[in-house]
Structure 1
Amino acid sequence: MTANGTSAALLPPTQPTPEQVDALIVAALARLDRTMPQFVDHFPAPSSESGVYAPIDNVEWTNGFWTGMLWLAWELTGEVRYRLAAERDVLSFADRVERRINVDHHDLGFLYTLSACAAHRLTGSEIGRTAGLDAARLLLARFDPVAGVIQAWGDMRDPAQRGRMIIDCNLNLPLLFWAGRETLDPAFAEAAHRHLAQAARLLVRPDASTYHTYYVDTATGQPRFGSTHQGHSDESCWARGQAWGIYGFALGGLHTGDDSYFELAARLADYFLARLPSDGICCWDLIFTGDGEAPRDSSAAAIAACGLLELVKALPLSDPRRDSYAAWAWRIVERLGTAYVAPLEGSNALLLHAVYHMPNGAGVDEACIWGDYFYLEALVRLRQVWVPYWS
């Protein structure tokens, strides 16, 4: 049951009209247009301060989300200004990977799938292809063959970080699957397959909640322990991590052809949906389910909506969950677009009321750039047949 007493499986099937989605798209693009002049040669910071993203150089793990929004806007409108801005960014990403600027982590998928790989997919960009493959090789180098996981952060020799996987990495794996198709080198897909299998085995608890992070012994390959980095506690369920799991395992089914990943994503989705406050927007950790004081995380809600829509595509037409997941996705997106959207004046974000890193007190009740991206992606998914950059 949800916090307001509605069974996730029984939510009445409702679909938006094109006009409803178009109205939200127009409002989102108006906010993107307002923001673009501020980031001609820069990128938005990961989270805002008082609703305003500061401009930063191409150094953060989040920069790809901005370029991804530009590509989405170009696909939606065909307006060349979006493409030109995105292509300028791709040159920056090519320079970043060539000069090895802050690329010693697993978030290369977030950085390069939405920027360089999208450029290659959409325009045939050889610069994008080269940069994407360089990033994929760096990501592959973080795979530990004994542990069977891609190490999230830190020097691969660092005992404190060795064998550490986090659920966010599910969304980095498409970079490896793409590189495998482009190069015909089986090592890329093999690493992605093995990491995905370990994520399913170790990060997902029996009740379909998830750990944020898990450690595997790199000498023996044996599981060590699960913990959190950004959640309320080691045994709670960080909302954004659960959303990464919903979307990431759905994409795992898409890439591997293994339907068990779709079923796993659906189990995670049911856990998530059963713990929503009355307006359908999750609190920052799913240990909080009511309309009380816990901050919401609009960015996790937007990620989950995309994951639900990916599941709608994947499940058989006869599966009754399809209508329920589609209805929940629209309910979430519609609520984000009416109650969580940033004002046109005084902010340069699309969505407010997200949480970046609660334990560190960073970006609490602020905008987060990935939330903006996934909100726009969800709108694209609702409006047209769309080939995800993650596929």
Structure 2
Amino acid sequence: MSTSLDWAQEAWAQTVRKVARTSQRIGDRFPHASVKGEYQLEPASWWTAGFWPGLLWLLYRDTQDEQSKLLAESCEGQLDQVIADYYRLDHDIGFMWTLTSVARYKLLGAEDSKRRGLLAANLLVARFNVQGNYIRAWNPWREGEDNAGWAIIDCMMNLPLLHWASKATGDPRYKHIAIRHADMAVEHFIRPDGSVNHIVIFDPHTGEKLEVKGGQGFAPDSGWSRGTAWAIYGMALSHLHTGDERYLDAAKRAAHFFIANLPEDHVPHWDFRLPEGVTAYRDTSAGACAACGLLLIAEQVSGQESSLYRQAGERILHSLYTNYGAWDSETEEGLILHGTSHYPEGKNVDVPLIYGDYYFVEGLSRLLGHGELFW
């Protein structure tokens, strides 16, 4: 596509205007999915609590808008109540505190945010299973349930919190655990064709791999698009933080599978391997996250290879802006339409999702060269 980024500048301006409007209602609360045009608000303990303040920090970095800063800081402060509640903390600690405390520390040098980020990193480290070399995913959903052996591909995006903690303290323990989890994911999550497992279950006592579950994908052996996006971006970030070429190779393998299976408008369906009769809803959040990963891969390779990944990421973001954006709608708070959170359980299907909005804005920010990654 054209080398001009005029469309991205336009999209950025549209984003700034729309968020200025929607933030008047959302304020310092925690949007998750937009239903009938209005973002539904979740408690501070919900796994997506970091994405709205993270989006506000992206905008603040460019605009220096004081209101965005104040709202993001208030969101971060509310997470203090969560960090003391063991039962509400899981693998998504990284999503929550990277985009709040680490973001604020990187932008403002705030010491209180550094302390919060380090406390969160210690809690994430505590979920590491040394027998299986994985960070445990969720806590039990109901009494008597045992999911101590569950690991998920999403957790690749939580590892940057640990890499940051090692850099911030000079203590390599955090990084060691991030590396061991990433090594496990290369072995057990990334398939030879670049598609990705969502859930892998291990024996938590021996570390033996027991089972693969479909999770939010259609089936255990299907091609859940957002899981592929988590792998693309998460592996690219692991390469960024370690320089280990195995992670870059894994990111490329997942990227090739993702790109090869995109439809004509470059925005993925929620799963790349759907049988006839299953509705192939789009998942714009998968597209936005994958685009960020593709742009990062492009920065870590050179020449024509770099152009390939950058152009692929830019095409996705451009399509999201032109074909899926809700820029002029007064009745829709979401930025990007047609996200799909959890089709198998019928949760938030074909709606805007806050993490889709976040990754779209981050992708624009990367294209426009606005500053360093929060991850």
- The Cα shift of 1:55 comes to 2.9
> Cα gap change, 1:103/1:175 in structure 2, threshold over 3 Å: closer, same or farther?
farther
User: Which of 67, 74, 97 pairs up with 1:81?
Assistant: 67
User: Which of 364, 372, 380 pairs up with 2:365?
Assistant: 380
Distance 1:346 1:155 in 2: 38
The total of aligned residue pairs comes to 372
Distance 1:263 1:322 in 2: 14
TM-score, reference length from structure 2: 0.94
State the partner residue of 1:281.
267
For the 8 Å contact 2:45–2:89, the answer to whether it is kept is no
After TM superposition, the structure 1 = structure 2 runs for residues 317-336 of structure 1, keeping only pairs within 5 Å, are 317-318=302-303, 320-336=304-320
Distance 2:24 2:333 in 1: 11
State the partner residue of 1:4.
none
State the partner residue of 1:338.
322
State the partner residue of 2:132.
147
- Superposed CA deviations along residues 19-57 of structure 1, whole A, max 9, x for unmatched, are 22110111112221111111224221x212123212333
Opposite residue 34 of structure 2, the aligned amino acid is S
- The Cα shift of 1:79 comes to 2.1
Distance 1:118 1:77 in 2: 15
- Superposed CA deviations along residues 133-182 of structure 1, whole A, max 9, x for unmatched, are 11111111110111110000115997731221100000000111111222
Opposite residue 88 of structure 1, the aligned amino acid is S
Opposite residue 364 of structure 1, the aligned amino acid is V
Distance 2:37 2:3 in 1: 29
After TM superposition, the structure 1 = structure 2 runs for residues 3-82 of structure 1, keeping only pairs within 5 Å, are 14-44=1-31, 46-82=32-68
- Superposed CA deviations along residues 193-231 of structure 1, whole A, max 9, x for unmatched, are 110000010001121111001112222222222222100
Opposite residue 43 of structure 1, the aligned amino acid is F
User: Which of 173, 181, 186 pairs up with 2:172?
Assistant: 186
Q: Report percent identity of matched pairs.
A: 37
- Runs of 5+ unmatched residues, structure 2: none
Distance 1:89 1:219 in 2: 38
User: Which of 78, 83, 96 pairs up with 1:111?
Assistant: 96
> Cα gap change, 1:301/1:289 in structure 2, threshold over 3 Å: closer, same or farther?
farther
Distance 2:167 2:178 in 1: 13
- Superposed CA deviations along residues 40-92 of structure 1, whole A, max 9, x for unmatched, are 24221x21212321233312110100000000001121222222221222211
- Runs of 5+ unmatched residues, structure 1: 1-13
For the 8 Å contact 1:277–1:289, the answer to whether it is kept is no
State the partner residue of 1:308.
294
Give the secondary structure class of the aligned counterpart of 1:328: helix
Distance 1:16 1:63 in 2: 35
Opposite residue 370 of structure 1, the aligned amino acid is Y
State the partner residue of 1:135.
120
After TM superposition, the structure 1 = structure 2 runs for residues 197-276 of structure 1, keeping only pairs within 5 Å, are 197-276=183-262
User: 62-71 or 14-23, which moves further after superposition?
Assistant: 14-23
Opposite residue 164 of structure 1, the aligned amino acid is W
> Cα gap change, 1:186/1:197 in structure 2, threshold over 3 Å: closer, same or farther?
same
TM-score, reference length from structure 1: 0.91
Q: CA RMSD in A?
A: 2.0
User: Which of 135, 138, 162 pairs up with 1:176?
Assistant: 162
State the partner residue of 1:10.
none
- The Cα shift of 1:101 comes to 7.0
Q: After the TM superposition, which parts of structure 1 deviate over 6 Å for at least 4 consecutive aligned residues?
A: 156-159
Give the secondary structure class of the aligned counterpart of 1:88: helix
Distance 2:171 2:361 in 1: 33
Give the secondary structure class of the aligned counterpart of 1:284: coil
Give the secondary structure class of the aligned counterpart of 2:241: helix
Opposite residue 287 of structure 1, the aligned amino acid is R
For the 8 Å contact 2:98–2:374, the answer to whether it is kept is yes
Distance 1:193 1:158 in 2: 32
Give the secondary structure class of the aligned counterpart of 1:54: strand
Opposite residue 137 of structure 2, the aligned amino acid is A
State the partner residue of 2:340.
355
- The Cα shift of 1:185 comes to 2.7
> Cα gap change, 1:15/1:63 in structure 2, threshold over 3 Å: closer, same or farther?
farther
Give the secondary structure class of the aligned counterpart of 1:68: helix
For the 8 Å contact 1:15–1:326, the answer to whether it is kept is no
Distance 1:273 1:247 in 2: 14
Opposite residue 110 of structure 1, the aligned amino acid is F
